[in-house]
Amino acid sequence: MFQFLLVIGLVLAYYGYAVTRNPHIWGDQGKDSIKEEYWKEYVLRNGRFVMYAGFLLAALAALDAAVSLAGWLYLVILLGGLALLGYPLAHWMKKTHGTWNPWPRKKKKKSRR
């Protein structure tokens, strides 16, 4: 099973990378629902997403070959869910306070020489 996932992951990663380098590979998928001035950014973001999804799939396949996938997959899903829960807070902090870090930093006193 892991060989199939590894091949699919690597193909997706390569396709996503190729799309980020040459957006014309994407074709006209979804072009009628996106404004023309946003089209290139849309394609680049989708290409990056496909590339990262391919890398993740290939990494999971390699992990399946090395150890039992069930425990690791549960851990990855759990950590991903926690990261998704924290994202709105970080976005709000960045927008309102200018930094995503909720803890204030101590300002160092300037040393006099």
pLDDT of 101? 67
Residue 53 neighbours by CB distance under 10 Å: 14
- Helices (H) and strands (E) in the chain — how many of each? 3, 0
pLDDT bracket for residue 105 (50, 70, 90): low
Taking the whole predicted model, whether its pTM rises above 0.85 is answered as no
Note the pLDDT of residue 100. 65
Sign of CA dihedral 58, 64, 67, 73: positive
pLDDT of amino acid 113: 62
What pLDDT does 71 receive?
72
Answer whether residue 8 shows pLDDT above 80.
yes
pLDDT digits (tens, 9 = 90+) for 54-89: 998 888 888 777 776 677 777 788 888 877 777 777
Task: Give the model's pLDDT for residue 111.
Answer: 63
Ordered DSSP codes for 93-111: HHHHHSSS--SPPPPPPPP
CA gap 11, 54 in Å, rounded: 7
90 close to 100: Cβ distance less than 8 angstroms: yes
| Mean pLDDT (whole number) for 14-26 | 83
Q: Mean pLDDT for the chain?
A: 78
